[in-house]
Amino acid sequence: MNQQKMAFFGLCLGFFIAMMDITTVPLIYTSLIAEFKVTPVMAAWVNNSYLITYAGFLLLGGCLGDAYNRKNLIVCALIILSVGALISGCGQTLIQVIAGRALMGVGAALLTPQSMAYISIIFAQGGRGTALGIWGAVAGIATATGPVVTQLFLQIADWRWIMWINIPIALLGLVIITMYLPAAPGKGLKGREVFVNGAFGFSLAAIILGLQLIHGAGGINAITILLLVLGSVIVVWLLRYELRHRAECILPVNLWQDRTFLRTCLVSGLLGFGVTAFYLPLAFLIEIRMNFGPFAISMVMITVALANALIGPIAGHFSDKMVPEVIVRYGLSAFALAVLLIGGIGIFVTGGSIAFIAMIIAMALAGAGTGLAFAPLANLALSRAEPTTIGRAAAFFNGSRQLMSALGSVIVAVLFDYVVNQSHLDGVSRISDKLQPYSPVVASAAFACFLLIALCLAIGAWLSHCHSSNDKHIPQN
């Protein structure tokens, strides 16, 4: 391998850790509940703490990357990830495990914008779209690998190894990055930029925390209202300050005025909303309505990840050759169609080989749709930024998706719960009785959620059409 490919491989290793953790940690909740004698809501904070600190430090990470040497920041991020994984794995209390996971979120937030920025730097002469497609495929492989690795370690060891497995991967990435990644000095930093990006990031984190509390605690209370209102007010005030004074703390003026960049971030957010919201009704559908066993569930979940991994690099390659908005539009449309098909399958089919085959086909279409959309969206967003501000552009792009993803998980959970509560079955009143195997109530609730998701994806596809109709694409140099 040449230096360029080795550097890219090192970046992918760090991203692999961040993505694999999304599917590994939720699967160890039962082990954490048994060991620490806590409630499911408390155990969920092992994952929530990661998501909140990730959101809080993401914009600051992009700002620091533009200001200082990106290579040093990636090295620091991988070290933080390793230390966080060590603390989580060695934790003797749930608080210690949560603290380690929060530290891992900080490391992931510092790493993500630098990785996307470096892809533009090391593939400046061509191939950025293909690289972003491979980078997205890494996410698909990591999310498919996560459940397998988790089940393996739970069988031969315990949950702590789910945390510790991150350490050798991060250290290998650290060695490769140190040896092969070129330095990328920044432009320096002003104190005002640190304050604004930090305040903006933590305001987004407050909003996400409020949304998570609504979901986890089962309703709205004074704390959730305070977090949502305070976070929203600060975000609006900072945006007003940024735009009125042309401060260029969060984004440079040219990106605030770039309709294509802003719409790309919005479309990415709608895709994040759809992907995150998709898995809750899907889980109820395949586990309860279709009553699939562990093997069938694993095959269904692996199908979507592998389809994403196969299609992503191809879509990324063609996003360098043609208008990427067209590919995005086809991807979002395919995902929306797959979501509606899955909802329809749940209504008309109740398990068995026919349901399994139909779900495999629909999930392959869903994975192909997300694979078509992800890399061209990222390629389009990065193509609008200058090399000196690409870190902040990448952070803003990812932050938009993170916020909309949190919103999607909460809205779909509320909608699913509402439909189940309002549904009527003869002689059935308790919620637990409505969630018995093959329950038609689950099919109705899941279909309502899938309709909402398809609507969001359709809006994203329409916005992508606005891109290609009204805005000029900036080709890769």
Say yes or no: 291 and 431 in one domain. yes
Residue 89 in domain: yes
Say yes or no: 178 and 258 in one domain. no
Q: What is d(CA 89, CA 158) in angstroms, rounded to the nearest whole number?
A: 10
- Averaged pLDDT of the chain: 84
What tokens appear for 351 in the block? 């398990």
Domain boundary residue, one of 146, 174, 189:
189
Helix, strand or coil, per DSSP, at residue 221: coil
Say yes or no: 165 and 296 in one domain. no
Q: What is d(CA 120, CA 207) in angstroms, rounded to the nearest whole number?
A: 31
Considering its fold, how many domains does the chain have in total?
2
Task: Tell me, rounded to whole angstroms, the distance of Cα 234 from its chain centroid.
Answer: 24
Percentage of the residues of the chain whose pLDDT score is greater than 90: 29
Residue 195 in domain: no
What tokens appear for 111 in the block? 């790493």
Residue 249 in domain: no
pLDDT (mean) for 398-425: 81
Say yes or no: 282 and 358 in one domain. yes
Q: What is d(CA 249, CA 422) in angstroms, rounded to the nearest whole number?
A: 47
Structure-model confidence comparison of residues 142 and 172, the more confident one? 172
Say yes or no: 264 and 178 in one domain. no
Say yes or no: 180 and 279 in one domain. no
Q: What is d(CA 194, CA 467) in angstroms, rounded to the nearest whole number?
A: 32
- What CATH number is given to the structural domain containing 389? 1.20.1250.20
Say yes or no: 280 and 149 in one domain. no
Residue 40 in domain: yes
Say yes or no: 259 and 164 in one domain. no
Residue 37 in domain: yes
Domain boundary residue, one of 189, 215, 234:
189
- Domain limits for position 50: 1-189
CB under 8 Å to 297, separation ≥6 — which residues?
Answer: 286, 287
Say yes or no: 167 and 268 in one domain. no
Residue 238 in domain: no
DSSP 434-464: HTSTT-HHHHHHHHHHHHHHHHHHHHHHHHH
Q: What is d(CA 446, CA 330) in angstroms, rounded to the nearest whole number?
A: 24
| For residue 477, pLDDT beyond 60 | no
Residue 214 in domain: no
Say yes or no: 167 and 303 in one domain. no
Domain boundary residue, one of 189, 216, 244:
189
Under 8 Å between Cβ of 286 and 292? yes
The count of other CB atoms within 10 Å of the CB of residue 222 is 7
| For residue 404, pLDDT beyond 80 | yes
Residue 212 in domain: no
| For residue 105, pLDDT beyond 80 | yes
Which residue in 113, 128, 22 sits closest to 475, CA to CA? 128
Q: What pLDDT score was predicted for residue 107?
A: 93
List, in sequence order, every beta strand (DSSP E) within 230-274: none
Q: Write the pLDDT tens digit of every residue in 345-394.
A: 999 988 788 999 999 999 999 999 999 998 899 888 888 888 778 888 88
Say yes or no: 64 and 185 in one domain. yes
Say yes or no: 166 and 270 in one domain. no
DSSP state of 428: B
